[in-house]
Amino acid sequence: MIHLKNVSYSFGRNWALKNISFDLEKGDFLFITGPSGAGKTTLLKLLHADLFPKGGEIKVAGYDLKKLPTRKHYLLKREVSIVLQDFKILTKLTVFENVALPLVVQKKPTLQIQKRVRAVLRSIGLYNKASVRCDELSGGEQQRVAIARAMVVNPKILLADEPTGNLDKTLSLHLLSVFNQFNLHGTTIVMATHNEELVSRQDRAKILYLQEGNIEAKNF
């Protein structure tokens, strides 16, 4: 499902990742941990083809990202969803409209969109906010909207960068249970986090520890 071999990435002269190699199978759950600046976000963006490796092999959801033309990146992004720390939700739209947007772009039937969006909003605790504009939400609520929008398409792979960063402990643990449900139904999860309690509560998870762009430790 995910294959990296000797993948490196630099911002100018500064190497964010150095010779990263690992493989994940369908249904794996991976935590990427490490201090700020270790390369966690860069790695997620490489997996989503938002950045392009300076060297090495990278294959995601059956696509060789070094060979996939830019005009065909939409094919990858139908299979791989990402939630970044900047959310990128449309604040002038309602919660429902934001979450429904990927399904609208895919031209799914209206009834299917309504059913799917309502189910995801219910699972993530935002059902009662469906008609609220996103500029009226708290930062934590906006973060959950971004997560719901990523989940609504039933991706093969879900990438999440600090998805519990603005949430309290109760909501963080609830969100982990939602991610677990998707994982148990076959979605491969890759989550970057500083939250050690989340990591400790997921016995099945693999762990990759980054330090200054290098893999310092992994348990798989």
164 pLDDT band, cuts 50/70/90, is confident
CB-side neighbour CA atoms (13 Å) of 9: 24
Task: Confirm whether 12 is domain-assigned.
Answer: no
Whether residue 7 is contained in a domain is answered as no
Give the residue numbers spanning the domain of 121.
27-49+79-218
Is residue 178 situated within a structural domain?
yes
Average pLDDT, integer, range 1-14: 94
Find out whether 187 and 25 touch, Cβ atoms under 8 Å.
Answer: no
CATH of the domain at 132: 3.40.50.300
**Phi, psi at residue 131, to the nearest 5°?**
-95, 5
Determine the average pLDDT of the residues in 105-133: 95
**Two tokens, residue 114:** 């309504």
Q: Is residue 16 part of a domain?
A: no
pLDDT of residue 115: 97
Residue 129 lies in a domain: yes
Contact criterion met (CB below 8 Å) for 158 and 151: yes
Q: Which of 79, 215, 58, 95 is nearest to 159 (CA)?
A: 79
For residue 92 the two structure tokens come to: 């002038």
- In-domain check, residue 9: no
CA 117 to CA 168: how far, in whole Å? 24
Query: Is 127 part of any domain?
Result: yes
Q: What is the pTM of this model?
A: 0.91
Mean pLDDT within 171-200: 90
Radius of gyration of the chain (CA): 17
Total number of domains constituting the chain: 1
pLDDT tens by residue, 33-43: 999 899 999 99
Angle between helices 169-184 and 139-151 (to 10 degrees): 0
Q: Cα dist. 170→22, 41, 183, 199 in Å?
A: 32, 25, 20, 15
Q: Is residue 8, in this structure, part of any structural domain at all?
A: no
Bridging pattern class, strands 157-161 and 188-192: parallel
Nearest Cα to 211, choosing from 4, 15, 47, 72?
15
Split at pLDDT 50, 70, 90, the class of 118 is very high
pLDDT at 139 over 90: no
